[in-house]
Chain A
Amino acid sequence: MLVRDPGCTVLLRVGGVSMQGAGIGDGDLLVVDCGLEPRPGQVVVARLGDGFTVKRLVRWRGGLALAAAHPAYPLLPLPADGDHQLLGVARCVIRRC
């Protein structure tokens, strides 16, 4: 249930609170499937410059953008020629009780 395909599944540790509204908290473990094509509406992991980030992929002005689930964080547009890469789709969150 957690892992669709072990070959292209990775675990990442979340740092920060920008996805709190989507139930993804600081320190949670994220199960990410790199074998699924990220689609708007999904929570995705992207490479922005030299770091990984987790956000919701949304349509924006005819293109795509990354949206946080927290009022304090701005929308991050993804220009077609920008230094970014959609890496995979977050499938579930593992949190210590």
Chain B
Amino acid sequence: MVLATVLIDGNNFYASCEAVVDPAVIGRPLVVLSNNDGCIVSRSAEARALGIAMGTPYFKVRAQLERHGVVVRSSNYALYADMSQRLMSTLERWVEDLEIYSIDEAFGLLHRPAGGDLGDWGRALRRQVLCHLGLPVAVGIAGTKVLAKIANRAAKVDPARGGVLDLAAVADVEALLETIAIEDVWGIGRRLARWCRLRGVAHARALRDMPAGELRRQCGVVGLRLQQELQGHACLPLISVAPAKQETCVSRSFSEPVQSLAQLREALATYLVRAAEKLRQQRQRAGAITVFARTSPFAPASFYSASATVTLPLASNDTAVLLAAALPLAERLFRPHRALAKAGVLLQQLQPDDLLQHHLLVPTTPEQQRRRERLMAVIDGLNRRYGRGAVQWAACGLQPAWAMRRSRLSRAATTCLAQIPRVLAR
């Protein structure tokens, strides 16, 4: 039995999600902006065709976008995360093992029937994702992860392939590998790509066929593995179970510089509330909290950055306990006349929440403990059901001035009852 590796990757994922919940933007050029409406992070095919580059700062192309009637959206993370979950749960039924690689990308393993072409299988999968979720994806099928990446890329680039490519059905694999620039091979860093270029190794085929010894001397076992994957020997296993997280971090850039201690406390409280929520989702407790803040790196002369850490006597995922321990640290970060541009919290020494040790100095009865846990579960449930912030901690402040700018946000169309799209019966 031969195993095939498949890579499924969403096309223009954020832009595609926006079109799923708002048919008015289908067929129109659309771009999605990063945090604080900074840069273009996703473009619809129509926006691509206008020559709008990825990563362009919004303010630079604003006039151009308006001229072309481009729809502009802020990043709607709730929508993208929900669509991603729906995508992954569909994919899980199509493969034997799934590794979720990013919000819109997953590797899968499946059996290849003797001498069989999996192209039809890929087309059926693609059709189902498109029909059920409205999301266009590309499907690349090959013997290894590195080759599946290449097949996926080739499936996307050439419209004649219809978004699906099984490398096993390609007559001239050599020629295809020669169209993949060395910089575009998965796992090749910028440094290694330059080294290859200097050696005349310009594409995936040349990397596959270069002397192994040379590669090994330059980049050790990592380079060798890459080469073996290109040769069709799978040596990068699927990682289907994410390892338990060692740290959880929430940090954001402010839309306006934060100049007062009260504002900094509100921001840290907001991030901590979010981090604690994540922690409970991961079924973990934190043993230590680090808070950090910095000024803008674009003004290097007055750059300031600081962090402070507190260790908890007893690991916890109770928002109130974490806030009480961490908020006093804000004073240690704050300096008058230092306009802070970014802050964050890092929860550390994470441990499973069923392994709680009691502490002589922190007298809590199991009954008290359970009541706190129920309270947190109720708060999380309400915020899930009625939208984040339905139950808010007073420490976070109300409508703070520093909050992220997302002026062109689409609605939480799939996760929040108050914001679902309308269907006309007219």
Contact = CB atoms under 8 A, between A and B. Distances in A.
B133 A34 contact: yes
A44 to B, nearest CB: 10
Contacts of B423: 12-15, 30, 32, 45, 52-54
B426 A73 contact: yes
B131 A15 contact: no
B358 interface: no
Given A7-B132, A8-B90, A51-B23, A18 B426 contact: yes
A34 B132 contact: yes
Given A34-B131, A34-B134, A87-B134, A10 B425 contact: no
What 10 pairs across the A-B complex have the smallest Cβ distances?
A: A16-B425, A50-B24, A16-B426, A8-B132, A12-B423, A18-B425, A52-B423, A19-B425, A7-B89, A7-B86
Interface residues of B, number: 21
Interface string B184-212: 00000000000000000000000000000
A64 interface: no
A24 interface: yes
Given A13-B421, A15-B425, 6 more contacts: A10-B420, A11-B417, A11-B420, A34-B132, A50-B25, A53-B426
Interface in A9-62: 10-20, 24, 26, 29-30, 32, 34-35, 45, 47, 49-55
A38 B130 CA distance: 15
A52 B426 CA distance: 10
A78 interface: no
A79 B50 CA distance: 31
23 contacts: A7-B85, A7-B132, A8-B90, A11-B417, A11-B420, A12-B420, A14-B423, A15-B422, A15-B425, A24-B425, A29-B420, A34-B134, A35-B132, A47-B23, A47-B26, A49-B23, A50-B24, A51-B23, A52-B421, A52-B422, A53-B423, A53-B425, A87-B134
Contacts of B131: 34-35
A68 B426 CA distance: 8
Interface centre among B89, B420, B421, B422 (most CB of A within 10 A): B422
A96 to B, nearest CB: 12
Contacts of A16: 424-426
B318 to A, nearest CB: 30
B414 interface: yes
Interface of A: 6-8, 10-20, 24, 26, 29-30, 32, 34-35, 45, 47, 49-55, 68, 73, 87
Contacts of B89: 6-7
Contacts of A12: 420-423
A39 B6 CA distance: 32
B386 to A, nearest CB: 14
A7 to B, nearest CB: 4
Contacts of A55: 425
A58 B26 CA distance: 26
Interface in B8-40: 23-26
Contact of A26 (B90, B420, B425): B425
B90 A7 contact: yes
B23 A50 contact: yes
Given A34-B131, A51-B24, A52-B23, A15 B426 contact: yes
A26 B24 CA distance: 22
A50 B417 contact: no
Contacts of A34: 131-134
A87 B131 CA distance: 7
